Amino acid sequence: MKKFYALLMLALPMFGFSQVVTFKVNTANITVGANGLYLGGGVIGGSNAVQLLDPDGNGVYEGTDSLSGTAGGNFIFLNSPANASDWGTKESLGGLPCADAANYDDRILPTFTQDTTLMFCFGTCATDTVCVTPPSPVNVTFQSDRSGSPTFTSAYLSGTFPVAWNGTAYPMTDPDGDGIYTVVMSITPGDYRYKFTADDWAIQENFDAAQRAIMGDTSCINTNSAGFTDRAVTIGSNDTILDVHSWQECGNTIGMEEVIADFIVKPNPASDVLFIENTTGAASTVSVYNVTGAKVLADKTFQAEARMDVSALPRGMYIVRIQNGSTERVVRVALK
């Protein structure tokens, strides 16, 4: 009988029975907020599912949960969440080897067959409660030309920063009114993913397949293993001012006359009329598309100059396509 019970205890994990897991996380790299530190996400629950405590005040917070050690899953630590859905307070692990890119860059629960203790350092991939001193932060200036974006009230930067993918944590401003919004971030060197947003995610950049097809230069974006396409940047050890990026573009294509081979498209941005100059002397065709690829102005054939009335089009970004024989040129133009 004793042998039977011993075998039964060994087999319990195979039947999905739970084990008690103690989570310990060092907070030396952060200041814990007023709401405290929590364990949540994935197989744990909401963003404030399990409160972690530091009774001896040594900076290592801990708590327990009952979990299946063979079922796997994800989890994450969160600093001072306001409620069960406050995911903007989760630690930022984007680009680190311990992040599961297919599951919101959360941590991956290891497998185990008995009660166990797991140890971490907040925001790092450490497998103990020792936090290595992080690199010194540097000032990074992000710049967004919003001339071609939909109409918005408040501009923001969102990404894998300390407050990960938050819709309002990093506001951008345009004090001189030139349409270029900026924010200076104090962040540690490393790899970051981000996009320009507005009005708490109501407006955000879109880099889907249709947009990528008309961008031309896609060097500023990257698709991760989960299929999300965002801007990507590597920050070094020096203060950096990043290039101005137009809305849903790499680099700044607004505020200049575009010269492409033997054609000039002007003005850019435009309001009522676009002029296309052709110095080839050969008959050419010009048409205008919106960013989804739909033609909004029909083909017009010209030799020296074409005049396109764009006054009735909604304000935003458009694609001007010019064909000359077998040659096709594409120019991005903003209407405002």
Residue 33 domain flag: yes
Give the mean pLDDT of the chain: 86
| Number of Cβ within a 10 Å radius of residue 271 | 12
Query: What per-residue confidence (pLDDT) applies to 161?
Result: 87
Query: What per-residue confidence (pLDDT) applies to 24?
Result: 98
Model confidence at 12, pLDDT cuts 50, 70, 90, reads very low
Q: For 162-207, what is each residue's pLDDT tens digit?
A: 888 889 999 999 988 888 899 999 998 888 999 999 999 999 999 9
Claim to verify: residue 173 and residue 236 sit in the same structural domain: yes
Its pTM stands at 0.56
Task: Please give the tally of structural domains in the chain.
Answer: 3
User: What is the Cα gyration radius of the chain?
Assistant: 26
CA-nearest of 266, 279, 268, 335 to 307 is 266
CA-nearest of 48, 127, 268 to 277 is 268
Claim to verify: residue 106 and residue 81 sit in the same structural domain: yes
Of the two residues 258 and 27, the one the predictor is more confident about is 27
Residue 131 domain flag: no
Query: What per-residue confidence (pLDDT) applies to 13?
Result: 44
Residue 104 domain flag: yes
CA-nearest of 145, 158, 154 to 185 is 158
Claim to verify: residue 232 and residue 315 sit in the same structural domain: no
Claim to verify: residue 94 and residue 42 sit in the same structural domain: yes
Q: Tokens in use for 144?
A: 């967004």
| Number of Cβ within a 10 Å radius of residue 148 | 23
Q: For 28-61, what is each residue's pLDDT tens digit?
A: 989 999 999 999 999 999 999 999 999 999 999 9
Host domain of residue 331: 258-335
Residue 231 domain flag: yes
- Show which of 246, 267, 300 is a domain's final residue: 246
Query: What per-residue confidence (pLDDT) applies to 261?
Result: 53
CA 221/CA 278 separation, integer angstroms? 33
Claim to verify: residue 232 and residue 277 sit in the same structural domain: no
Claim to verify: residue 144 and residue 50 sit in the same structural domain: no
Claim to verify: residue 71 and residue 151 sit in the same structural domain: no
Q: Tokens in use for 240?
A: 């950096």
- Show which of 86, 121, 156 is a domain's final residue: 121
Residue 76 domain flag: yes
Least confident of 4-18, 154-168, 223-237: 4-18
Model confidence at 8, pLDDT cuts 50, 70, 90, reads very low
Residue 88 has pLDDT above 80, yes or no: yes
Q: For 260-303, what is each residue's pLDDT tens digit?
A: 556 788 888 888 999 988 877 788 888 888 766 678 898 888 88
- Show which of 217, 246, 275 is a domain's final residue: 246
Claim to verify: residue 209 and residue 151 sit in the same structural domain: yes
Of the two residues 82 and 280, the one the predictor is more confident about is 82
Claim to verify: residue 275 and residue 241 sit in the same structural domain: no
Claim to verify: residue 156 and residue 195 sit in the same structural domain: yes
Residue 9 domain flag: no
215 φ, ψ to 5°?
-75, -35
CA 145/CA 291 separation, integer angstroms? 17
Claim to verify: residue 142 and residue 234 sit in the same structural domain: yes
Query: What per-residue confidence (pLDDT) applies to 222?
Result: 92
Concatenating the DSSP letter of every residue in 159-196 gives ESSSSTT-SSSEEEB-TT-SSEEEEEEEE-SEEEEEEE
8 φ, ψ to 5°?
-65, -40
What CATH number does residue 312 fall under?
Answer: 2.60.40.3080
CB-based contacts of 311-314 (< 8 A; 24+ apart in sequence) = 311/271, 311/272, 311/273, 313/288
Residue 5 has pLDDT above 50, yes or no: no
Instruction: Label residue 291 left, alpha or beta by phi (over 0 means left) and psi (-120 to 50 means alpha).
Output: alpha
Query: What per-residue confidence (pLDDT) applies to 95?
Result: 73
CA 229/CA 226 separation, integer angstroms? 9
Q: For 194-253, what is each residue's pLDDT tens digit?
A: 999 999 999 999 999 888 887 778 999 999 877 899 999 999 889 999 988 989 988 776
| Number of Cβ within a 10 Å radius of residue 246 | 23
Residue 126 domain flag: no
Claim to verify: residue 239 and residue 270 sit in the same structural domain: no
What CATH number does residue 205 fall under?
Answer: 2.60.40.10
Residue 1 domain flag: no
